[in-house]
Amino acid sequence: MSSEWRATTLGEVCKAQGGAIQTGPFGSQLHTSDYQQSGAPVVMPTNIGDGGIITNGIARVGESDVARLAQHKLQLGDVVFSRRGDVTKNALVRSREVGWLCGTGCLKVRLGDESVATAKFISHCLRAPDTKDWLIRHAVGATMPNLNTGILSAVPISLPPMGIQLAIVDMLDALDDRISLLRETNATLEAIAQALFKSWFVDFDPVRAKLDGRVPEGMDEATAALFPATFDESEIGMVPKGWRVTTLGSICKDSGGAIQTGPFGSQLHASDYLDIGVPVVMPQDLAGRRVQVEKIARVGDDDVRRLSRHWLRTGDIVFSRRGDVGRHALVGVRESGWLCGTGCLLVRPGQSWPSATYLSLALDRADAKEWLLRHAVGATMPNLNTGILSAVPIMRADDLILQAFDEIVCRLDDRISHGHANIRALVELRDTLLPRLISGQLRLPEAETVFEKAAA
């Protein structure tokens, strides 16, 4: 580390800049009954993502509660920490979140006037692997790790001169911006696929257009000709002529596929997992209809051969068997040959089924997830089994229509997969540069060379 850098702590930085570290409101100050549909958002540990705040499902409170809890209002440049559980989670408050509340189960770091250290530089420091390891080692609690203001105040910080801080922040922010843009692009592509599914198979827009004597929008003449021009009565109401409601189990059976349970704990133990090997897809790895690999477990070749009936193939769908039972992922080319893990169910549509993506999108809809939750078993935690998953209702359209749909959405899926690959590469680059930059081990000119090569 350069002689220009100095060792300090988070608490000393806050003190020098007129800031402070404060615990969020306790449960006695903010009750579940205080939350409402609209109002000021309240940032809880579940809302803290990768350096940013996630708004999906965020709680809200009214103006009177905001006024009562004014000391917990967030300001630009604050850092919000999870106080218990995953104590490494933290997020920098940006302009969008100013005036929101720091919620129960969180700690708020107010860095002050930034005369010594910029909020963005400190935020990057707090996301570094060494800092996360330090937090885990120093957290208290026998059953669940907990932080307090004293522990956070003692977090070690290596502080360079302001000019170096700003240059490091510019480089890391540029990587974060590219990652965010790719994620937004993927979200847009996913929304297009879901909108097309809804138009064709829920709202029946092409059929309604033909029934009204109009030309279906957004498709060529050959594709439009595949759709019927009338409706039939069914047990769920009017459906396009020739279409019918069936079940996921019937589709798999008729197409030469199957639905099976993943290996039980007695077949795959924690001691079997390795740092290097074949990935094993667990419920925690399922998100957004994709397999996430950041924390994926791995096993050796002997276990892969022993568990050959659980090998994954392209077009399979892996479901979470317990907990969030609506969560699933469509298996792509990358995951072929990996293993379906403990706590999962494997859906194999079969080789003659025309579109696995169609099934994945159908199972991702809110009504399908609600059906699964209603029919899940278990007193304390929802659980699925092969019988329940087999009984999920699925709209069965004509095979030629499913093939036409698959051609369109597979192109979207390919772009999404390419986007995910780019995101993983940039995240890996950022996570490699981050600890070396903020510790002074890597000089800026060297880091800039690495960054430029990645950007080329």
Q: Are residues 154 and 288 in the same domain?
A: no
Separation between Cα atoms, residue 120 and residue 169, nearest integer Å: 6
In a domain, 29, yes or no: yes
Query: What would the mean pLDDT of 230-257 be, rounded to a whole number?
Result: 94
In a domain, 189, yes or no: no
pLDDT score of 2:
59
In a domain, 224, yes or no: no
The pair of structure tokens assigned to 51 is 């350096």
Q: Are residues 111 and 251 in the same domain?
A: no
The pair of structure tokens assigned to 33 is 């009954």
Q: Are residues 154 and 248 in the same domain?
A: no
What is the pairing mode between strands 328-330 and 393-396? unpaired
Query: What would the mean pLDDT of 64-73 be, rounded to a whole number?
Result: 94
37: Cβ contacts below 8 Å, ≥ 6 apart: 60
Separation between Cα atoms, residue 307 and residue 265, nearest integer Å: 12
What is the band of 61 on the pLDDT scale with cuts at 50, 70, 90?
very high
Q: Are residues 30 and 126 in the same domain?
A: yes
What is the band of 70 on the pLDDT scale with cuts at 50, 70, 90?
very high
Q: Are 389 and 247 in contact (CB under 8 A)?
A: no
Say if residue 100's pLDDT is above 60.
yes
Using one digit for the tens of pLDDT, what is the confidence trace for 379-438? 889 999 999 999 999 999 999 999 999 999 999 999 999 999 999 999 889 888 888 888
In a domain, 132, yes or no: yes
Comparing 222 with 142, which gets the higher pLDDT?
222
pLDDT score of 124:
93
Angle subtended at Cα 16 by Cα 15 and Cα 20, rounded to the nearest 5 degrees: 25
pLDDT averaged over every residue in the chain: 93
What single letter denotes the amino acid at residue 83? R
pLDDT score of 303:
95
Using one digit for the tens of pLDDT, what is the confidence trace for 165-202? 999 999 999 999 999 999 999 999 999 999 999 999 99
Q: Which of these three, 135, 159, 183, is where a domain ends?
A: 159
In a domain, 447, yes or no: no
What is the band of 455 on the pLDDT scale with cuts at 50, 70, 90?
low
The pair of structure tokens assigned to 118 is 């910029």
Q: Are residues 10 and 155 in the same domain?
A: yes
pLDDT score of 226:
97
In a domain, 381, yes or no: yes
Say if residue 235's pLDDT is above 90.
no
Structural domain that includes position 76: 6-159
pTM of the model: 0.83
Separation between Cα atoms, residue 181 and residue 275, nearest integer Å: 31
Say if residue 448's pLDDT is above 90.
no
Using one digit for the tens of pLDDT, what is the confidence trace for 16-56? 999 999 999 988 888 888 899 899 999 999 999 877 899 98
Query: What would the mean pLDDT of 367-383 be, rounded to a whole number?
Result: 93
The pair of structure tokens assigned to 317 is 């769908």
Q: Are residues 154 and 292 in the same domain?
A: no
Say if residue 302's pLDDT is above 80.
yes
Q: Are residues 253 and 141 in the same domain?
A: no
Separation between Cα atoms, residue 197 and residue 432, nearest integer Å: 39
What single letter denotes the amino acid at residue 25? P
Q: Are residues 360 and 254 in the same domain?
A: yes
Query: What would the mean pLDDT of 210-229 be, rounded to a whole number?
Result: 96
Separation between Cα atoms, residue 378 and residue 382, nearest integer Å: 5
CA distances from 433 to 4, 16, 108, 183 (A): 20, 28, 26, 21
Number of domain units in the chain: 2
pLDDT score of 125:
94
Backbone angles phi, psi at 250, to 5 degrees: -65, -40
Q: Are residues 377 and 282 in the same domain?
A: yes
Q: Are residues 263 and 388 in the same domain?
A: yes
The pair of structure tokens assigned to 24 is 């969020």
The pair of structure tokens assigned to 372 is 């699964």
With residue 293 as reference, give the H or E element that holds it: none
Say if residue 1's pLDDT is above 60.
no
In a domain, 166, yes or no: no
Q: Which of these three, 374, 396, 418, is where a domain ends?
A: 396
Which CATH number is 30's domain given? 3.90.220.20
Q: Are residues 258 and 367 in the same domain?
A: yes
pLDDT score of 237:
87
In a domain, 373, yes or no: yes
Q: Which of these three, 367, 396, 425, is where a domain ends?
A: 396
With residue 198 as reference, give the H or E element that holds it: helix 162-201
Query: What would the mean pLDDT of 64-86 be, rounded to a whole number?
Result: 94
R_g (Cα) of the chain, nearest Å: 26
